[in-house]
Amino acid sequence: MDGYGIIHQDAHLKSLFIDENYQITLFDFDDCVYVHFKYDNAMVLSYIVYGKDNAPEFTKHFLDVFFKGYDEFNHLDPKWLKETPYFLKLREIDHFAQKLFAVGEDPDDEWCKQYMINLRYRIEKHILFINFYFDSLTLSLEN
């Protein structure tokens, strides 16, 4: 399949339902956009990995399982895996812009203020959201 299409753009645990047979139903489609499918993958990854102490190990396990299921519905060329950090950075920039619009330059909440400072710092310094070598997954997906 082509790498572009309409994506959910907000797939997280509060926007889906998992039934007793592990079938996933997404809802809350108000943020849909036409963009590269990899951006939706990055969105899911950013939500699921956020705050994990063992992010690199968790990322490897999660993506191995995620792409096995994902590939049943839409095959992305494995070459796109190495582009994941760029899509994650795009997600951070998008998230920062949304939060900035919602809370302004100087939010009242101290946690939010620190979160925004840290997010801006990571964006400006090009610090990866997840310290993970995404090329390491490419070979396992090609086999």
Cα dist from 61 to 49, 68, 79, 91, 134, whole Å: 11, 11, 19, 21, 12
pLDDT digits (tens, 9 = 90+) for 91-111: 999 999 999 999 998 899 999
pLDDT digits (tens, 9 = 90+) for 110-125: 999 999 999 999 999 9
* Cα–Cα dist 111/32, whole Å: 29
- Counted residue by residue, the chain has a size of 143
Q: What predicted TM-score, i.e. pTM, was given to this entire model? A: 0.83
Task: Please state the rounded mean pLDDT for residues 26-49.
Answer: 90
Instruction: Evaluate whether the domain defined by 4-142 bears CATH number 3.90.1200.10.
Output: yes
| One-letter amino acid of 65 | V
